[in-house]
Structure 1
Amino acid sequence: MTPVLELRDLRVTYAGGHEAVRGVDLILQPGQTLGLAGESGCGKSTVAMSVLRLLPKDAVITGEILLDGEDTQAMTWGRLRAVRWAGASIVFQGAMHALNPVRRIGRQIAEPILLHSTIPAEKVPARVAELLAQVELPADKADAYPHELSGGQKQRVMIAMALACEPRLIIADEPTTALDVIVQAQVLQVLTRLVTDHAIGLVMISHDLSVLGSVCERLAVMYEGEIVELGTAATVVREPQHAHTQALAAAFPTVGDPLSRYVPATTNPAGLPERVTPSAGEPLLRTESLRVDFRKRGGGWTHAVSEVNLEVGRGEIVALVGQSGSGKTTLARTVLGLQEPTSGKVLFEGKLVPRGSRALRDYRRQVQLVLQDPASALNPRQSVYEAIAEGLRIHRLPGDEHEQVTAALEAAELRPAERFMPVLPHQLSGGQRQRVVIAGALALQPRLLVADEPVASLDASVRGEILALLLRLRAQLGLAALVITHDLGLAWNIADRVAVMYQGELVEAGPVEHVLLEPRHAYTKSLLAALPEAAALP
């Protein structure tokens, strides 16, 4: 049987002599699934893009890339155009960015069919409806625009487009990044079923070994452009041999594993602090019967937050979990004073959060937000120094500005501080950018951090470093944190208590060990059941 994809001694070198891929050999048979794991910069996306010659012009490719036995490097542009979509297709990572925001979903799915298949134009709408059904979306979604779909629905549209011309190979590049666990499980289930039903070859790229292990038969782990480990998914996940594979496996702990409780994977010399017991007494932050309603465009109301009672103690880390649309971000915005509640109270140190602009500004100095995407949170034209100093100037904090910026950078473990001050955001790694965002919050000496998905867009090892930093800040500064996340592993890793939101309501809250190991509410049980587990591997 001819492999659907075969790479022989693949090497990719970019301008300047950087060898991104070094001697990769892989074989994928029809109906097989291969997981390609590794962190940013390891070369896994370069391997994927090289298959259909989607790399920049300055990339020099050597070796062979055989698609159904035919070398794509030797193909004419006409032949390559025919092979794209029809022979092999790619599900790109960011569905929101990959879809055209001003075109309806049906037209976007139809485009590759009209360009690359022989289906008559009058039969294309029926084919679009068929593809939507294959990815478990109703046919009327063809009339929707991308912004009218959820993250999971947009990702399914991308999969439908990839299937449009019935290719024999699909390459899925981080198809579940930033999706909540239930939607992630649904997308992975769709991919698994499509491989079985259509006998296609699937190459799935991710930095999360547990996700790859729940879908793929074989796993290849890349590090610095090379395949450092290759084997069955069960063997690689359960018995990793290479140090980098072991680090990837440790970065996403299993809920219930006592060894990973308060022990995020970190190589920082500062290590991890001893467990800190949150202070007893009056909670630092409390909501009472909090309600937030939004008026719908066609009439009626959406109850985004319904009668929520939530507490965060002094020096306590609380994880607020729930899938997209559960109301957790609206709750966070209300706590920060960015959204006015319909009814109920938000109290900080026993006092109502003020409404007046000056008093609210003073409150926000003590309650700081850490955004999910550090790249968009930072002004690309501002240096690190200016980004951190901006908050000091807005709140007019007394004292020497340079010393305060230095202290914030040191607290966020960006040392030496002087080295980072003149640097622009694009010159930093993802983890360093997230530390700059945290430093900007720390500069104001807050009492509480509200962190919205603080590690969702970060590599496995960097994720551990940021979580360890939050634990050290709690130990050193007594800093409390409300961490908004869809990642139950994160809650198990660093949180003292967990609160579960569903359709605007707080359905369960309590110590992490109780809620995640002995869940009472059906929704909490469904979140735990949706987790990809190595134990489920064959």
Structure 2
Amino acid sequence: MTPVLELRDLRVTYAGGHEAVRGVDLTLLPGQTLGLAGESGCGKSSLAMSVLRLLPRDARVSGEILLDGEDTRAMSWGRLRAVRWASASIVFQGAMHALNPVRRIGQQVAEPIRLHGSLPDEQVEARVAQLLEQVELPAGKARAYPHELSGGQKQRVMIAMALACGPRLVIADEPTTALDVIVQAQVLELLTRLVAEQGIGLVMISHDLSVLGSVCERLAVMYQGKVVELGAAPTVVHDPQHAHTKALAAAFPTVGDPVSRYAPATTNPAGLPARVTPSAGEPLLRAESLRVDFRQRGGGWLRAVKDVSLEVGRGEIVALVGQSGSGKTTLARTVLGLQQPSGGRVVYDGKPVPASSRGLREYRREAQLVLQDPTSALNPRHTVYEAIAEGLRIHRMPGDERELVAAALEAAELRPAERFMAELPHHLSGGQRQRVVIAGALALRPRLLVADEPVASLDASVRGEILALLLRLRAELGLAALVITHDLGLAWNIADRVAVMYRGELVEVGAVEQVLLAPRHAYTKSLLAALPEVAPVT
């Protein structure tokens, strides 16, 4: 059987001599699935983009890239254009940015069909409806615009486009990044079914070994441009040999594994703090029967938060989990005074949160928000020093400004502080940028952090470092935290209690062990059932 894709001694070098891919050999047969794992910068996306010559002009590619036995490096532009979409297609990372916001979904799915002239015009609409049905979307979605679809629906549209011309190879680059656990499970199940039904070869890229292992037969782990481990998925996940593979496997713990409880994977010399018991007595934060209503465009009201009561104790970490659209972020914004409740109240340190501007300013100094995406949270033109000093100036914090900035950087483990002060955000790694955001919050000496998906956009190893930092801050500074996440593994890693939110309501609240190991509500059970599982080694 001729491989659908064969890479022989593939090398990709960028201007300046950086070798992103170094001598990779891989083979994929029709109907096979191959997972490509690794952290940002390991070369996995450069490898994937090289298959259809989608790399920037400064990239030099050597070796052989055989697509159905034909080297794409030797193809003319006309031949390459015919091969793209028809023989091989790519599901790009971040469907939000890959879709055209001003064109209807049906037009975008039809575009590759029209470009390749594979069907008469009168049959294109029927083919679009068929493709949408294949990815489990109603045909009526063809008239929708991207902003009218959920994240999971947009990802399904990207898969439909990739299948439009019947390719033999599909490359999916991080197809489930930032999707909640139930939508992720649906997308993974869809990809598995399409491979089985259509016999296509699938290369799937991710930094999450458990996601890859639940879909792919074989896994290749990349590190510094090389494949450092290759084998059957169960073997690579459950019995990794290379140190980097072991680190990737440890970064996403199994819910219920006692070894990873309060022990996120970290290589920080500071290690993990001793377990801290939250203070008893009056909670630091209490939401009482909160309701939040939004007026809908066509009239009427949408209740986003429905009579929610929740407490965060002093020095306690509470994980607020649920699907996208469940009301988690709206609840967090209301708790911080960024959204006015329609009913109920928020009590902080025994007193109702004031509605006046002056009262809210003082409250927000003590209750700080850590945003999901550190790149968008930081002004690209401001140095690290300016990013942290801004909050100090707004709240007129007493003391020497430079000393306060340095102390915040040290607390966020950006050491030595002087080295980072003059840096711009784009000079930092993703993990360093997230630490700068945390440092900006710590500069104001808060007692509560509200962290909205604090590690969703970070690499596997960086994820563990940030979670370990939160545990150390709790131990050293007595910080309490309300962590909003769709990641149940994160809750198992660092939280004392977990609150499960569904359609605006809290359906289950309790100790992490109680809720995640013996769930009572059907929705909590469905979240746990949706976690990716890798069959054990046989």
TM-score under structure 1 normalisation? 0.99
Superimposed CA distance per residue, residues 400-420 of structure 1 (whole angstroms, 9 cap, x where no aligned partner): 100000000000000000000
Task: Tell me by how many angstroms 1:533 deviates.
Answer: 1.6
- Counterpart of 2:264 in structure 1: which amino acid? P
Which whole-Å CA distance do the structure 1 matches of 2:414 and 2:501 have between them? 35
Query: Which residue of the partner structure matches residue 320 of structure 2?
Result: 320
- Counterpart of 2:482 in structure 1: which amino acid? L
Query: Which residue of the partner structure matches residue 487 of structure 1?
Result: 487
- Counterpart of 1:444 in structure 2: which amino acid? L
Q: Does the 8 Å CA contact 2:235/2:537 hold for their aligned counterparts? A: no
Superimposed CA distance per residue, residues 367-400 of structure 1 (whole angstroms, 9 cap, x where no aligned partner): 0000000000000000000000000001111111
Task: Tell me by how many angstroms 1:276 deviates.
Answer: 0.2
Which whole-Å CA distance do the structure 2 matches of 1:452 and 1:336 have between them? 12
Query: Which residue of the partner structure matches residue 354 of structure 1?
Result: 354
Task: Tell me by how many angstroms 1:350 deviates.
Answer: 1.6
Q: Does the 8 Å CA contact 2:118/2:165 hold for their aligned counterparts? A: no
Task: Tell me by how many angstroms 1:139 deviates.
Answer: 0.6
Query: Which residue of the partner structure matches residue 87 of structure 1?
Result: 87
- Counterpart of 1:121 in structure 2: which amino acid? D
SS in 2 for 1:66: strand
Query: Which residue of the partner structure matches residue 403 of structure 2?
Result: 403
Query: Which residue of the partner structure matches residue 507 of structure 1?
Result: 507
- Counterpart of 1:7 in structure 2: which amino acid? L
After the TM superposition, which of the residue ranges 408-417 and 353-362 deviates more from structure 2? 353-362
Which whole-Å CA distance do the structure 2 matches of 1:35 and 1:537 have between them? 17
> Structure 1 residue runs of 4+, over 2 Å off?
534-538
Which whole-Å CA distance do the structure 2 matches of 1:417 and 1:258 have between them? 36
- Counterpart of 1:453 in structure 2: which amino acid? E
Identity %: 84
Equivalences for 1:35-50 in 2 at 5 Å?
Answer: 35-50=35-50
SS in 1 for 2:344: strand
SS in 1 for 2:12: strand
**Cα RMSD, aligned residues only:** 0.7
Which whole-Å CA distance do the structure 2 matches of 1:118 and 1:108 have between them? 15
SS in 2 for 1:131: helix
Query: Which residue of the partner structure matches residue 26 of structure 1?
Result: 26
1:96 aligned to 2:96? yes
Q: Does the 8 Å CA contact 1:214/1:537 hold for their aligned counterparts? A: no
Q: Does the 8 Å CA contact 1:36/1:221 hold for their aligned counterparts? A: yes
TM-score under structure 2 normalisation? 0.99
1:459 aligned to 2:462? no
Which whole-Å CA distance do the structure 2 matches of 1:515 and 1:96 have between them? 33
Equivalences for 1:298-447 in 2 at 5 Å?
Answer: 298-447=298-447
- Counterpart of 1:11 in structure 2: which amino acid? R
After the TM superposition, which of the residue ranges 186-195 and 347-356 deviates more from structure 2? 347-356
Which whole-Å CA distance do the structure 2 matches of 1:229 and 1:417 have between them? 37
Which whole-Å CA distance do the structure 1 matches of 2:140 and 2:52 have between them? 32
1:273 aligned to 2:273? yes
Superimposed CA distance per residue, residues 128-184 of structure 1 (whole angstroms, 9 cap, x where no aligned partner): 100000000001111111111000000000000000111000000000001000000
1:232 aligned to 2:226? no
- Counterpart of 2:186 in structure 1: which amino acid? Q
Task: Tell me by how many angstroms 1:117 deviates.
Answer: 3.5
Which whole-Å CA distance do the structure 1 matches of 2:122 and 2:387 have between them? 55
Q: Which runs of 5+ in 1 are unaligned?
A: none
- Counterpart of 2:492 in structure 1: which amino acid? W
Query: Which residue of the partner structure matches residue 195 of structure 1?
Result: 195
Query: Which residue of the partner structure matches residue 205 of structure 1?
Result: 205
Equivalences for 1:238-257 in 2 at 5 Å?
Answer: 238-257=238-257
Query: Which residue of the partner structure matches residue 182 of structure 1?
Result: 182
SS in 2 for 1:534: coil
SS in 1 for 2:291: strand
Q: Does the 8 Å CA contact 1:117/1:165 hold for their aligned counterparts? A: no
SS in 1 for 2:288: strand
Q: Which runs of 5+ in 2 are unaligned?
A: none
After the TM superposition, which of the residue ranges 273-282 and 298-307 deviates more from structure 2? 298-307
Superimposed CA distance per residue, residues 470-512 of structure 1 (whole angstroms, 9 cap, x where no aligned partner): 0000000000000000000000000000000000000000000
Task: Tell me by how many angstroms 1:536 deviates.
Answer: 6.7
SS in 1 for 2:461: helix
Which whole-Å CA distance do the structure 2 matches of 1:120 and 1:376 have between them? 44
Q: Does the 8 Å CA contact 1:214/1:536 hold for their aligned counterparts? A: no
Superimposed CA distance per residue, residues 30-67 of structure 1 (whole angstroms, 9 cap, x where no aligned partner): 00000000000000000000000000111110000000
Query: Which residue of the partner structure matches residue 523 of structure 1?
Result: 523
Task: Tell me by how many angstroms 1:537 deviates.
Answer: 7.7
Query: Which residue of the partner structure matches residue 474 of structure 1?
Result: 474
